[in-house]
Amino acid sequence: MALKVLQSFVSSVPTLWRLSMLLLLYQASHKTALASTRLGGNETDHLALLSIKAKITHDPMLITSSWNDSLHFCQWKGVLCGQRHLRVTGLNLESYNLAGFISPSIGNLSFLRIVNLKNNSFQGGIPHEMGRLFRLRFLDLSTNLMGGKIPGNLSHCNNLRILSLKQNKFIGNLPKELGSLSHLVELHIPFNNLTRAIPASFGNLSSLQYFSAEENMLEGNLPGSLANFSTQLQHLILGRNKISGSIPPDIGNLVSLNTLDLVYNQLTGSIPTSIGRLHKLQEVAFGGNNFSGEIPSSIGNLTLLNALGIEENNLQGNIPSTLGNCQGLLLLQLYGNNLSGSIPREVIGLSSLSQSLDLSRNSLSGPLPQEVGNLRNLGLLNLSYNKLSGEIPNSLKSCISLQYLYLDNNSLEGVIPQSLESLKGKLDLSFNDLEGEIPAGEVFQNVNAISVSGNNKLCGGIPALELPSCPDDKPRKKKMPLGLPLLIPTICGVLSIILISSILILCWLRKMRNQPSVASSSMDSWRIISYNKLLKATNGFSSSNLIGTGSFGSVYKGILNPSDQKAIAVKVFNQQRRGGTKSFMAECKALKNIRHRNLVKIITACASVDFQDNDFKALVYEYMENGSLEYWLHPVLSQTGKRPTDGMFIDGLDLHKLAKLALPERVMEIVDQNLLEEEEGASINSSNQMKIEKISHPPFHKTSSSMKYFHN
Ligand SMILES: *[C@@H]1O[C@H](CO)[C@@H](O)[C@H](O)[C@H]1NC(C)=O
Ligand SMILES: *[C@@H]1O[C@H](CO)[C@@H](O)[C@H](O)[C@H]1NC(C)=O
Ligand SMILES: *[C@@H]1O[C@H](CO)[C@@H](O)[C@H](O)[C@H]1NC(C)=O
Ligand SMILES: *[C@@H]1O[C@H](CO)[C@@H](O)[C@H](O)[C@H]1NC(C)=O
Ligand SMILES: *[C@@H]1O[C@H](CO)[C@@H](O)[C@H](O)[C@H]1NC(C)=O
Ligand SMILES: *[C@@H]1O[C@H](CO)[C@@H](O)[C@H](O)[C@H]1NC(C)=O
Ligand SMILES: *[C@@H]1O[C@H](CO)[C@@H](O)[C@H](O)[C@H]1NC(C)=O
Ligand SMILES: *[C@@H]1O[C@H](CO)[C@@H](O)[C@H](O)[C@H]1NC(C)=O
Ligand SMILES: *[C@@H]1O[C@H](CO)[C@@H](O)[C@H](O)[C@H]1NC(C)=O
Ligand SMILES: *[C@@H]1O[C@H](CO)[C@@H](O)[C@H](O)[C@H]1NC(C)=O
Ligand SMILES: *[C@@H]1O[C@H](CO)[C@@H](O)[C@H](O)[C@H]1NC(C)=O
Ligand SMILES: *[C@@H]1O[C@H](CO)[C@@H](O)[C@H](O)[C@H]1NC(C)=O
């Protein structure tokens, strides 16, 4: 089984495959030549490993204590060898709490293909000598304390597929020489202190699929050559740098783009119309720049879009009604611009919206369209600080998931609709021109839940609101608005409608209770779950449970109840940067109804604070082995070119494993033995024995699933 899986992966990377086959043939005809070099070679490796050990100053888990002469170095912990020639092909020392420096002697391990030193405390720079490792495919130094400049010499490692230097202290510029790494598929350099501009030469990275560099100090313009980046590029994540200039108009060439994250830079100019050609885009994050001009209507072409954020910019003009075509949109943030005109019906009626619709702090005018009632899944609607007029539409009562409604600081008039009293969370109607009596419903009984100040013609309500009492002497119970004699004849009608609908709702609730389907819209079937529980379910959000990331959040797999072993997928939204003192448990309740039919079944939601008191939001989905998760995890899947319906899933490689394979930190589990051994001339079939031996002191101590995967 394992072999079949490996083979199918390999065949999905045709160049890798062809290369290995070539080497296989080459080595078959040069066996004698290689055999004679064997003797000298293994001693070089031996010495190099010993000097690597000598530079490790702290080894609390005693990993390198096995690096002694009682064992052949191929059996040393964390050392991988090709079985045929016993040369070192991999170093896997991930998460061993090692400290020290990387010895320049690493450059003498000339057969190295895999170096994984992730999550240790190595310091110092990357030795230039690593440039001699021309066979190197995978280099992961992420989450260490390394610094200095990235050596341009790494460009000699021209077989590099994956390079991750994430979360270190690297400084200086990105060497332009790296632009020659024509096989590079993933480049991860976020959370460092890199400066200067992205070199134009990166436009030559013709295999690049993933480029992340967020949270550095990169400056300069986006290179014009950006448009020349690989048409395979799926993730471009450059948020929180100091990049200026405008987006190259030809960005529309990057037709595979799935995530485009440029948040909090200093970008100016308009958003290119050509963005409408990027049909695969799912997440667009442009917030916190200085984009001007109008939102191009071509954005309506992006029918797979899940999240669009262009908040805190300098946009003008109307919100394009074409946005209504983006029927998978879960989150839309356009707050803090200078958008004008009315809110298009097509947009306010976009029923997929579930996480948040925030159009606050613009210059939007006209009435709030009736279509707002389509937002059945929406938890937060923020339209504050605009110029909206007219009455608050009654259709808001259909927004059954709505927990936060902010309509403050507009010019809304008329009475507060009775229907708003069913709202369970927070309601801000302050600084409008509303009139009449405050309705009597529950939300209006809680002074912390509502804000109605700055409406001079309101009256009644609980005393804490400090409004004048209504001049009407009719009993409160009737909740009749004042000054509206027009409504008097209809009161009986209203009352009977309320009565009838209460009966209907009661019947419906009873019916729902008898149908325990998760997909039902019964409020009862929603549970709220604590941060603690999710923490436990996902092994502390461990990287081995991570199945995908995007700029708006990460998806983890987990087991909620050890008793039923039912898998869940947890989408954790990135912390919202906007402040505000919210009641997070209230938010849990707010989110509990959010779901979207086109996605997968949402089991529950959580909004809370984590142990560092950070805002925490998550949605919990039923984990679907058979592909419904595909839509949600599309970024991950498109990286491998595999879909859950492909044959390989039948052999038991589920989406979870596949997704893991697609992630950089897992890739070495695939590239690892079989490719190495092919190059060493061993046939695939005869290598099983060796594989199992090696795994018996596995390099991947944490991921027992990967062991299973090799043993099968
Ligand atoms: C090097 O290879 C020779 C011959 O295969 C073997 O006798 C010797 O033990 C090896 N030395 C090391 C350090 O692996
Ligand atoms: C590494 O190789 C260089 C030159 O080939 C040699 O001078 C040096 O001693 C080697 N270092 C180790 C630790 O083997
Ligand atoms: C050498 O490594 C072996 C295997 O891990 C270990 O049992 C032994 O104690 C080590 N010897 C020394 C001197 O550290
Ligand atoms: C990093 O390594 C430490 C020590 O082995 C481990 O406890 C921790 O879980 C690792 N963190 C990640 C994100 O892998
Ligand atoms: C840079 O790489 C080249 C070619 O692999 C190598 O010969 C040279 O020694 C390296 N430079 C340094 C300073 O190590
Ligand atoms: C980045 O560099 C700046 C100035 O050189 C320094 O103040 C800052 O502490 C550095 N940040 C990190 C994370 O190293
Ligand atoms: C890209 O590669 C081509 C051919 O290898 C080379 O001529 C060109 O100068 C490179 N572009 C940049 C910006 O480095
Ligand atoms: C993009 O690539 C083409 C063809 O290789 C080249 O002619 C053009 O100058 C490149 N554009 C930029 C901005 O690098
Ligand atoms: C929008 O999509 C249509 C059809 O796919 C295409 O013809 C059109 O050029 C696209 N518009 C833009 C601005 O990309
Ligand atoms: C944003 O751009 C406008 C011109 O479009 C300019 O006047 C303004 O100063 C810029 N603001 C910032 C914060 O850069
Ligand atoms: C907002 O846009 C209007 C035109 O719609 C313009 O008159 C006004 O100056 C803009 N305000 C800001 C702060 O840019
Ligand atoms: C709603 O928008 C206003 C203005 O942008 C902001 O101050 C407030 O924090 C927002 N409320 C929420 C819950 O996001």
> Could you read off the pLDDT of 250-296 as tens digits, one per residue?
999 999 999 999 999 999 999 999 999 999 999 999 999 999 999 99
48 touches ligand 2 (CB under 6 Å): yes
Ligand nearest to the CA of 46: 1
CB 386 within 8 A of CB 407: no
Beta bridge partners of 364: 341
Instruction: Give me ligand 9 centre to Cα 154, in Å.
Output: 40
Q: Are 209 and 231 in contact (CB under 8 A)?
A: no
Closest Cα to atom 9, ligand 2: which residue? 105
Q: Is the CB of 169 under 6 A from ligand 6?
A: yes
The verdict on the CB of residue 241 being under 6 Å from ligand 4 is: no
Give the mean model confidence (pLDDT) for residues 142-157. 96
Are 369 and 392 in contact, with CB atoms under 8 Å apart? no
* Structure-block tokens of residue 330: 């879960």
Residue 613's identity, in one-letter code, is: D
Q: Out of 140-144, 214-218, 497-501, which region has the weakest mean confidence (pLDDT)?
A: 497-501
Among protein residues, the one with the nearest Cα to ligand 10's atom 2 is: 290
- Kindly report the protein residue whose alpha carbon is nearest to atom 7 of ligand 8: 228
DSSP conformation letters of 383-436:
--SSEEEEEPPGGGGG-TT--EEE--SSEEEEEPPGGGGG--SEEE--SSEEEE
- The 3-state secondary structure of 363-381 reads EEEECCCHHHHHCCCCCEE
Give residue 349 CA to ligand 11 midpoint distance, Å: 27
pLDDT recorded at residue 588:
33
pLDDT of residue 495: 56
Which residues have C-beta within 8 Å of that of residue 703, sequence separation ≥ 6?
544, 660, 669
pLDDT at 470 (0 to 100): 85
| 41: Cα within 13 Å, side-chain hemisphere | 18
What atom of ligand 6 comes closest to residue 169's alpha carbon? 14
Mean pLDDT of 301-312: 95
User: 169 has which bridge partners?
Assistant: 147
CA of 66 to the centre of ligand 3 (A): 5
In this predicted structure, the answer to whether residue 589 has a pLDDT above a threshold of 80 is no
Residues in the annotated binding site for ATP: 571
Model pLDDT, residue 685: 28
- CA gap 635, 343 in Å, rounded: 31
pLDDT at 667 over 90: no
* Residue 129 near ligand 5, beta carbon < 6 Å: yes
Distances (CA, A) of 703 to 158, 164, 522, 635, 665: 30, 20, 38, 23, 11
Residue 154: per-residue pLDDT: 96
- The pair of three-digit structure tokens given for residue 497, joined into one six-digit string: 């409608």
Q: Is 173 in the pocket of ligand 11 (CB under 6 A)?
A: no
> Which atom of ligand 5 is least distant from the CA of 132?
5
**Residue 404 CA to ligand 12 centre (angstroms):** 10
Residues 6+ apart with CB under 8 A from 591: 379, 403, 605, 606, 607, 617, 619
Q: Which ligand does the CA of 107 lie closest to?
A: 2
Answer yes or no: are the C-beta atoms of 360 and 384 closer than 8 Å: yes
pLDDT of residue 225: 77
Q: Is the CB of 259 under 6 A from ligand 4?
A: no
SS3 89: strand
Residue minimizing CA distance to atom 10 of ligand 3:
66
Residue, of 663 and 427, whose pLDDT is higher: 427
**Phi, psi (deg, nearest 5) at residue 320:** -65, 135
Residue 382 Cα to ligand 12 middle (Å): 6
How many angstroms separate the CA atoms of 582 and 447, rounded? 15
- In three-state form (DSSP H/G/I as H, E/B as E, the rest C), the secondary structure along 124-157 is ECCCHHHHHCCCCCEEECCCCEEEEECCHHHHHC
Is residue 656 in contact with ligand 5, taking CB distance under 6 Å?
no
Which pair of structure tokens corresponds to residue 649?
């899933």
Sign of the CA dihedral with 506 first, then 511, 514, and 520 last: negative
What's the rounded mean pLDDT across residues 419-428? 85
Give the number of the ligand closest to the Cα of residue 43.
1
pLDDT-derived band at 620 (thresholds 50, 70, 90) equals: low
Look at 173-182, 380-389, 521-530 and tell me which has the smallest mean pLDDT: 521-530
**Pocket residues: Cβ below 6 A from ligand 10:** 268, 290, 292, 314
Q: Which residue has the tokens 């609390």?
A: 60
Going by CA atoms, what residue is nearest to atom 13 of ligand 4? 543
Write down the pLDDT at residue 497: 57
pLDDT category, 659, cuts 50, 70, 90? very low
Q: Which ligand is nearest to the CA of 72?
A: 1
Residues pairing with 406 in the sheet: 382, 428
Alpha-carbon distance 375 to 467, whole Å? 32
- Under the banding of pLDDT at 50, 70 and 90, the label for residue 170 is very high
- What CA–CA distances, in Å, run from 571 to 353, 368, 616? 16, 31, 11
pLDDT in tens, 353-368: 998 999 999 999 999 9
3-state SS of 16-42 is: HHHHHHHHHHHHHCCHHHHHHHHHHHH
The confidence band for 12, taking pLDDT boundaries of 50, 70 and 90, is very low
Q: Which domains does the chain have, with CATH numbers?
A: 1-196+657-712 (3.80.10.10), 526-641 (3.30.200.20)
For the annotated binding site, the residues are 571
Rounded alpha-carbon distances, angstroms, from residue 612 to 533, 575, 609? 16, 12, 7
Residue-level length of the chain:
712
Would you say the CB of residue 142 lies under 6 angstroms from ligand 4? no
pLDDT at residue 310, as a whole number: 96
| Percent of the chain predicted with pLDDT > 90 | 51
Q: What is the pLDDT of residue 542?
A: 73
Compute CA 249 distance to the chain's CA centroid, rounded to the nearest angstrom: 26
Mind listing the pLDDT tens digit for each residue in 62-104?
999 989 988 889 999 999 999 888 899 999 999 999 999 999 9
Span 315-337, average pLDDT: 95
- Residue with the larger pLDDT of the pair 649 and 619: 619
pLDDT-derived band of residue 110, with 50, 70 and 90 as boundaries? very high
- State the pLDDT at residue 431: 96
Q: Tell me, using a 6 A CB cutoff, whether residue 145 lines ligand 6.
A: no
Show the ligand 1 pocket: residues with CB < 6 angstroms: 38-39, 42-43, 46, 72
- 536 confidence band (pLDDT: 50, 70, 90): confident
Q: Is 68 in the pocket of ligand 3 (CB under 6 A)?
A: yes
Please give the distance, rounded to the nearest whole angstrom, from the Cα atom of residue 515 to the centre of ligand 4: 44
Average pLDDT over residues 651-655: 27
- Average pLDDT, stretch 477-494? 46
- Chain centroid offset of residue 317 CA: 30
Our answer on whether the CB atom of 128 is closer than 6 Å to any ligand 5 atom is yes
Distance CA 7, CA 13 (A): 10
Identify the band that residue 576 occupies on the pLDDT scale cut at 50, 70 and 90.
very low
